[in-house]
Chain A
Amino acid sequence: MPDSPAIASSGAATAVETAHAAAHPDYLRHHFESVEQQADTTNFAMWLFLLTEVMFFGGLFMAYLIMRNWYYPAFVEASHHLSIFWGTTNTAVLITSSFTMAMGVWCAETRRKKGLLLSLILTFCLGLVFLCIKGIEWHAEWVQHHVPGLHYSVESFVNPASDPEIYAEYHDRALSPAMALRTEMYFFLYFAMTGMHALHMIVGISILGFMILRARAGSYTNGHVTFVENVGLYWHFVDIIWIFLFPLLYLVSRHG
């Protein structure tokens, strides 16, 4: 802008600039009319992304439903080898992390920097706790040779008594060798679904780590909350995936 001494010296210019700054804060991009429009647009885009995620996980859920219908006895007995205790605990952990994330969004909206930091750190830690518990479960499956393709063993299914603890609880009947082989499909889908979910958690936790650093520097509590809101949407979406994975993988086959 060319210097105009007449206006610069008038003092009215500062008033104009202040009004301009209030209407156009520095986080408002030039191609948007208003902060409101910018927020709506970003929100819409985030939801479109989440819909593609619904379709992505939908395919896995679909495969699980069809395979469970085809190889029902194998899927029932295979699911008896998951720990309902760890599954329930992890669901509680993830729901708590969604609550702390929601509180983080509220803190950003009401410009509470300390509250935002605390919420983000809690969410970050709960996400790690979830992954650790998942790791404990995966390790147990590795020890039992229930990882498909890696020394997979059908021993627990052709000879259920070989696993005394689970046999005492469920009294599973021995599967035919052909059906016992299909348990590998259950564990393949189990690892694909929980693994893909865990990958989403890792991405979410990484973004949270980045946000904690930015929030310490005062970001997000200056009125520009779009990023926190959208990461919140992502985090809650990952929570919803688990809300469906948990009953389908752990619970529905308990009574076969």
Chain B
Amino acid sequence: MTEAHEHQRHIVSPKVYLAVFLSLLCLTALTTAASFVELYVFNVVVALAIAVIKAALVVLFFMHVRYSNRLTKLTVASGIFMFCVLVGMTLTDYFTRAWGQW
């Protein structure tokens, strides 16, 4: 009976945590290093891309979403989707207000 309960919960091993931890530290060093290189508009793109990768690592492994049930995965995905919709719609408004006026 107890085995059945513990069988259903996936325990993430410390090796995975350690690998994710080291990747996050490397990505932090990389993002700081990249900010010292003149990349013009791509400074923002690179910084945000690295931040998204770091956040994805945290969500998938530290927060166990990769090993979670479908309900959790759907919840997280719908939250990210909704956030992108809100940001996208707001930015299309603000960034296009002056269009055609110059």
Q: Distance (Å) between the CB of A175 and the closest chain B CB?
A: 20
- Name the B residues within 8 Å of A91 (CB-CB): 28
Does A62 contact B95, Cβ atoms closer than 8 Å? no
State the CA gap A110–B6 with chains docked (Å): 10
State the CA gap A61–B62 with chains docked (Å): 23
Does A23 contact B1, Cβ atoms closer than 8 Å? yes
Q: Distance (Å) between the CB of B38 and the closest chain A CB?
A: 5
- Main secondary structure, interface of A, reads helix
**A71 within 8 A of partner (CB):** no
Does B8 contact A252, Cβ atoms closer than 8 Å? no
User: Can you list 10 pairs linking A and B with CB atoms under 8 Å apart?
Assistant: A22-B2, A40-B71, A51-B82, A54-B83, A65-B87, A88-B29, A236-B59, A243-B58, A244-B55, A248-B48
Chain A residues near B (Cβ < 8 Å): 19, 22-23, 34-36, 39-40, 43-44, 47-48, 50-51, 54-55, 58, 61-62, 65-66, 69, 84, 88, 91-92, 95-96, 98-99, 101-103, 106, 109-110, 223, 229, 232-233, 236-237, 239-240, 243-244, 246-248, 250-252, 254-255
Task: Using A40-B69, A233-B63 as known contacts, list a sample of 13 further A-B pairs with CB atoms less than 8 Å apart, ordered by residue number in A.
Answer: A40-B71, A40-B72, A55-B86, A61-B87, A62-B87, A84-B32, A88-B29, A91-B28, A95-B21, A98-B58, A102-B62, A243-B51, A248-B47
